[in-house]
Amino acid sequence: MVGVLVVLPLFAAAQNDPDLLRKLATTMATDQISSDRFEVEVWLLASDQRLTRYVKNPDKRLFILNTVFDAAHSQTLDPDLVLAVMQVESAFDQFAISKVGAQGIMQVMPFWRDEIGRPQDNLTDLVTNVRYGTTILAHYLSVAKGDLVEALARYNGSRGRLEYPELVVKAWRTVWRNKSSSDLPDLQESCRSYGLKACRYQ
């Protein structure tokens, strides 16, 4: 049976989700803990070359990758999934602004800052944006009980449609792949539930 997504406006979802607002407030008020450096170095070797097509400057690539790994580790996310979201959302442009006002490398909506009382936060700052984005994505994965398609659609504000999850899953599996399909049970379950075309890239 194909999964069904339910449409819910993004801002309304934020207003009705005090748990997410609490998580965002906590994340942004807490210093980020650095990850185990050996684990980071192994991942960096695999990821740096893939990022070169989007980010030419090696120092900036290293900064992006370290930021992503630390934030993903803090939120128990696969850092490769975060990179796939960034690719689809902004093509790694930290100054990107969408037609609806989403900002930065993970295209975070400014209303989140206001909702948690931090209007001063600069969403074009790489670290700030990634911390917001990974917190939101991790929360939606938790709410969706590991349903990757549902979580991605919530993140993009496009619940009820599969276009965005298709794009992210395709990028995740074709560009940023560091894990085998057997290591990603949530992805396998989403493929079965929604019949994603992108799953052929597993």
The ranges assigned to domains in the chain are: 10-146
What is the CATH topology of the domain spanning 10-146? Lysozyme (1.10.530)
Which tens digits make up the pLDDT trace of 158-187?
Answer: 887 999 999 999 999 889 987 766 667 777
Give the residue among 148, 164, 166, 169 at the shortest CA–CA distance from 84: 169
Instruction: Give residue-wise pLDDT tens across range 11-64.
Output: 445 556 888 888 888 877 777 666 667 777 888 988 999 999 999 999 999 999
pLDDT band at 202 (very low <50, low <70, confident <90, very high): low
- Rounded distance, CA 100 to CA 129, Å? 17
What is the C-alpha R_g of the chain? 16
Whether residue 144 has pLDDT greater than 60: yes
The string of pLDDT tens digits covering residues 70-86 is: 999 999 999 999 999 99
